[in-house]
Amino acid sequence: MAKERGGEPKDIASLGEVLAVSKPKAASKTPSPGPSAQANPAPAARAGRAGHARDIGIDVPAPKRACEDPHCPFHGTLPVRGQTFEGTVVSTRMQRTAVIERKYLRYVQKFERYEKRTKRFNVHSPPCLDLKAGDRVMLMECRPISKTVSFVAIQNRGTAA
């Protein structure tokens, strides 16, 4: 019995120590989320606010209306990086994907002249940009969204000549 009694306080003491050790950790953990939580609400509130667009880090105006597309750089979580191009929308028949054509000149050294070239991109088209055939569009590289889509439209410049 004595041994058990002797053992119990030790256990309790050790438990107390464990608790004492674990408590400060928990205490130290709890304040740290506090400041970060104070810092975090801003983006969270931004995302929650209807119509408020995320800052994508590119100097383009945010779309006028919001959308629910997770692959929208402004209202979803898709990061943009890499190359930017300007092009013209050729087709919007796919769901949330547009075909965008880009014409450019390539120098041919042998003939000392430029040749016209055309490239077509399959581009993710967020619903908030309302892309239609003929629109001038800014596109920017993003992570691959599908086998052929690794660009996303970030600005609709309308049907400018």
Residue 154's nearest CA partner among 94, 100, 90, 93 is: 100
Question: Which amino acid makes up residue 153?
Answer: A
Per CB under 5 A, does 74 bind Zn ion?
yes
List all residues 6 or more positions away from 146 whose beta carbon is below 8 Å from its beta carbon. Answer: 97, 122
Judged by beta carbon, residue 87 or residue 124, the one nearer Zn ion is 124
In the list 99, 100, 123, 128, the residue contacting Zn ion (rule: CB under 5 A) is 128
Q: Tell me the per-residue interface mask from 37 to 56 with Zn ion, x by CB under 5 A, - otherwise.
A: --------------------
Per CB under 5 A, does 121 bind Zn ion?
no
In the list 78, 126, 151, 154, the residue contacting Zn ion (rule: CB under 5 A) is 126
What gap in Å lies between CA 62 and CA 113, rounded to an integer?
Answer: 40
Interface stretch with Zn ion, choices 29-37, 69-77, 82-90, 133-141 (CB under 5 A): 69-77
Interface stretch with Zn ion, choices 27-35, 68-76, 98-106, 143-151 (CB under 5 A): 68-76
- Asked if 100 contacts 41 with a C-beta cutoff of 8 angstroms, the reply is no
Per CB under 5 A, does 124 bind Zn ion?
no
Interface stretch with Zn ion, choices 40-48, 106-114, 128-136, 147-155 (CB under 5 A): 128-136
Interface stretch with Zn ion, choices 63-71, 82-90, 117-125, 150-158 (CB under 5 A): 63-71
In the list 56, 62, 71, 75, the residue contacting Zn ion (rule: CB under 5 A) is 75
Q: How many CB atoms lie within 10 A of CB 80?
A: 19
> For binding to Zn ion (CB under 5 A), which residues are involved?
67, 72, 74-75, 126, 128
